[in-house]
Amino acid sequence: MRIELVQGDITTRAVDVIVNAANSSLLGGGGVDGAIHRAAGPELLAACRELRRTDLPDGLPVGAAVATPGFRLPARWVIHTVGPNRHAGQTDPALLASCFRESLELAESLGAQSVAFPAVSAGVYGWDAREVAETAFDAVTTFAASFEESGEDTAVDLVEFVLFSSEMVDVFRQVREGGPVWG
């Protein structure tokens, strides 16, 4: 599995899945969530409203993930995950790790070969960028290792961390270079 760092706009990535750092309502918001909703078009909001009407009447729980089509995005699917909000007292790193793990498991079930992640919870949700990067890399390597140990192949061949600012890319790069060599 390849892991790449990209500075840019996640809504423009030509990958199978982009991950949305959503809020539990799934009805759009600011930051990455708002940008994805705008780029995907009104069909995304309609699909999220349908999820709320049927499967998720109370919203998507923190750490969980759910998929919708990508509609007008280059990506085939959007996987929505709700990161923990440190400002609201959601400080358990296991919730943050769950966002990445559940998103990867869902991408695998969709047969996705490429997945682009933002820095879930590192923005207005107040998590330290370094902790997000460490958690994200750990989740991806643990996911890949689980397939290696079982002797199975994962459909997911490429994971991109698509980060809006050069500062965030630098943090992810520093964390990456401080750990094992990435392929």
- Annotated catalytic residues are 33
Partners of 19 in beta bridges: 79
3 state SS of 17: strand
Please check whether residue 19 is in contact with residue 159, taking contact to mean a CB–CB distance below 8 angstroms: no
Please check whether residue 97 is in contact with residue 60, taking contact to mean a CB–CB distance below 8 angstroms: no
For 182: left if phi > 0, alpha if psi spans -120 to 50, otherwise beta; the answer is beta
Q: Which helix (H) or strand (E) holds 100?
A: helix 93-110
- Lookup: tokens for 9: 């706009």
Q: Are strands 114-117 and 17-22 parallel, antiparallel or unpaired?
A: parallel
